[in-house]
Structure 1
């Protein structure tokens, strides 16, 4: 065979291999989409886990079928697979089939998702899940946790199976010594199981010391811990930064009252939640704090609303999350009335070729409603229904007063008499 023929043969084999790999990727993507994976997440999921493309397709199909046969909600399975792709590995599939029935028999009160987390944790730690009964019994008997709390611990903090009993006891004793009743400790651990992983000397004591130095009373601390135990997971110094941010806010008094309406300590924790939310989408912690300081209305919105705005910005508007540092006002405006409505108008105009310049996030958010209407809606009648703010199409105009109120201001009408007419006439003639 000549050199040219060998080169052509190798090129043909390479192109055939690439084509078959592409077909395999499409088949795997279709399989995940069939089982409820969002199509937008599949490419990144497969790129992070290339081993799934090497696995046989029937094996992936059997693994997914087995997982969904456990009657776990679809969203929970998608979340589990995103964070733990090892659920689809061949070794775990055999462990699941061999161990899960025994676990269901031994722990009938635990949900399938909890048992799945238990299997995952024991596999990572190279433990036999059937030998965990003493540990689970200790959580119920020695620490008097309820069944619901034990299930929450295994789901939220499965590494509890290797956590020493002395460490767990020290956390419980510390919370009890602070004045939290025993039944409330059960609720605290159920809501925030990872509190059992926090060392008393390393985390809890310095955190409580910091809170006291900031001027908060024990009563406020107990109230906030009972309200949302996740506050125990704050890093050392994080509460101080959040408090300094709130104290330095330069905004309208009405907004500041809404921010601190539930208490200053609660406001600090709300700031922390929104900082974590923005950092989860790729912002640095410094930029996230800067965004919240410039646009304090973010604190007044729920975390879910903030997530919805950021996802709309990234997925539909195709903007980077760093744009928020330049236009923080985006997170402070109404999502449906201003963001969605305005961007729908922009999409319509782009489709018609009516926008001949680069339309940025600042152009979308900064103009007032009337200015945006005059610039982008009024010249194009087809955008009237999309915007709907000043067009009057489908918008009900609210009156300032209740219906029928004008009758109360109508002057009383009296019957005219001949004597009155003559008196008025004579008076007018005297003036002439």
Structure 2
């Protein structure tokens, strides 16, 4: 009888788990829906635990059947075997879309086709094609909710338009793997710290999206520090970045410093070089060995004097980055054929106005034809161009007005124009007419050089004098780093910049 009572109590204990001792009711299997693991074999467990597991598992299955589970980033958690099966199914799905999954071999993929389809469709809505995805297939390893949406939302916030987001991702797909807080935000903060305008941040990153992958303490900081050390004004770093952000990714020791040292060795003072970089930061991208040095040698081979190189580079910096040999050859032949200017005269033209190498030949011929049409012999026109190459870049309308004033009002012979062709480069209304009227009222007759080649203050001093001072030559570039002006006046380092030297602070296009 006693044994029968004990067996009855044991059966009731099986049927009522609440009466089982606490240490026996702690099931080793979690009841969370996402932990859908295979149950252990019942023969290896205590019968009480087997019953408890079956009870809980049955309740979970009825409430969260696997096919009704909500879509999550990585799908359901699976065992090794299920993962392999799911991976094959997902890869087959990608192949049907035209995506090559070979590069995804070591990448963890979603466990369901639905999640992968969501990623592909999201990228396609941005404007990416299947070919774009094949260029960088790792982008489909990024979660839409955890990676893509936060990153793209931040990029839009800092100024990248939604319509251009697809192009941005296509150019720099690695951004989808980045952390907004750890990687993206510090770079934007750095750009603001070097005075890049807030509204230009998006523009800068669209030009050079790889900036988002740089470390702040690396190349970017050292590039800025070196440029400031050679004389670049810190407040001009921002406009330089806006114009040419690529220099932030250049190594100082192998790219920037060798170029600066070479230009300085040609005779360019560092202060003038710094001003050049502030205005045209893109010259930092010129390859020293492949472009700059060959172009300097090319100038010398065309008869340019070595001492004139600093002036040429300072006046027309782009000349060291052009396909120069071809341009010089074409222009030299043209000047010899059409303008009757020999190679020696052509080299003098380049020294005085290096922009000639890029000037269109039709533009050059219009002023020349105007002068020839006024009865000036071709050899005299050639002399005028060699002495004042700026003539060939002037508008014919300005030449016409100045010429007719010279002939009708001043009544002077053409010989004076041949001797002083710079006459055409002065403003008719603001300089030529007023000064001529002043001389005429005083009954003074002077050369065109004495009349025009001086400042307003010096002209007044000349009018007050009882003699005509010796005429001086035009400005010359001194390799010592100073600009020598007529009258032996030197522009010191402390002098303010003139109007034509005001920097273009916010350049947003080259």
TM-score by length of 1: 0.45
Which has the larger Rg?
A: 2
Q: Which has the higher contact order (CA 8 A, sep 6+)?
A: 2
